[in-house]
Amino acid sequence: MGDAIDAVLSIDKSVGLTSMDVVRRVKRLVGQRHVGHGGTLDPQASGLLPVCLGYANRLMQFLVDSTKEYHGTILLGVSTDTYDAQGQIVAEHDPSSVTREAVETALDTLRGTIQQTPPMYSALKHEGQRLYNLARSGVEVERAPREVEIFRLDMAQWAPPQLTLEVECGRGVYIRSLAHDLGQLLGCGAHLVALRRLRTGPFHVESAISLERFEELCNQGSSETVLYPPDYLVLHLKAVAVSRQEETGLQNGQPVPLSPRTHYAQHLEQCRAYSADGRLIALVQFNRPLRLWQPFKVFRSQAKSPYAEESVLV
């Protein structure tokens, strides 16, 4: 595709591909090295996988930290070692006595801020080794529960022994663990049989495209029509236009006053800083003791952002 691209691509991942499979294919298509994804999606899951190109990778943390939405189908009565349909069955119980009311009661305990134990079959590390590698070797280690947030957990369909959940959650949530924990609460066991990610931060799967479609667009020379500017990831932050002098200071990593936009600023408040000609210069954070705005990410972009004129507060 020629010159290096700074952008975000919204991919609808197919079942069977790993997140890194998607990254490798996009790398080949765009011909550049700096490509990453905004949050792992298991191979057996489908749905939204944002892919960052160029300096958009430096904003990836905003995707990782963002809320996500999922649509997951759970089978009651069967527990597996991976908590999903890819694993070995470890226990079976008759779930015929489980009622919809019992499921709803159990879901109540899984909403809000909860403690969740990651599955052994995960990419987390223990003493430098991936948990899934240890699990495949027959080794199980103790995993400390982690505090995670479940903002919404609704039963979309009840078709026993299966049920479908709609989940909105924060970072670090394993939907497989959620399925397993639900089965434990109901006393019959359960595992995840299908999962689709619907949203990550500002991206929704309805506006995502398949890898095959992206390849077609690359071959046609029109791939830019489906790329988002990097600052699309931080549109939730306020924006400021900076003077040429302030721009120089920020690009040198120096804190600047951004006067008169300091009077009402809150400590650690963050903003997008744009040059007078609409280029994203930096992300800045207000330091109240210094009464200055400190850059915490600085960019050397030469491209004007489409969000500069409509968003900048002057």
Contact of 180 with 75, CB cutoff 8 Å = no
- pLDDT at residue 187, as a whole number: 97
Same fold, 7-66+202-231 and 73-160+172-197: yes
CATH of range 73-160+172-197; options 3.30.70.380, 3.80.30.20, 3.30.2350.10, 3.40.50.1000:
3.30.2350.10
Class of the CATH-defined domain 237-313: mainly beta
| 42 tagged catalytic | yes
Instruction: Please state, in angstroms and rounded to a whole number, the distance separating the CA atoms of residues 294 and 249.
Output: 10
Residue given tokens 């210069």 in the structure block: 281
- pLDDT at residue 223, as a whole number: 93
Contact of 193 with 44, CB cutoff 8 Å = no
Query: How far from each other are the two terminal CA atoms of the chain, in whole angstroms?
Result: 37
- pLDDT at residue 199, as a whole number: 98
Phi/psi at 17 (nearest 5 deg)? -95, 140
**DSSP bridge pairs for 102:** none
- pLDDT at residue 123, as a whole number: 63
Mean pLDDT, 10 residues at a time, the chain of 314 residues: 82 96 96 92 95 95 95 97 91 97 97 87 64 64 84 97 98 94 97 98 97 96 94 93 92 84 74 92 91 92 81 52
Residue given tokens 């070692």 in the structure block: 81
pTM for the full model?
A: 0.90
Kindly name the residue from 3, 6, 12, 42 that is annotated as catalytic: 42
Instruction: Please state, in angstroms and rounded to a whole number, the distance separating the CA atoms of residues 117 and 174.
Output: 9
Domain 7-66+202-231 belongs in CATH node 3.30.930.10? no
Residue 309's SS3 state is helix
- pLDDT at residue 259, as a whole number: 65
207, two tokens = 């506006």
- pLDDT at residue 314, as a whole number: 46
Contacts of 10 (CB under 8 A, 6+ apart): 48, 50, 51, 203, 207, 208, 209, 226, 228
Dump pLDDT digits (tens) for 221-280. Answer: 999 999 999 999 999 998 988 989 999 999 999 999 876 566 567 777 899 999 989 999
Of 282, 243, 236, nearest to 261 by C-alpha is 243
Where do the domains of the chain lie? 7-66+202-231, 73-160+172-197, 237-313
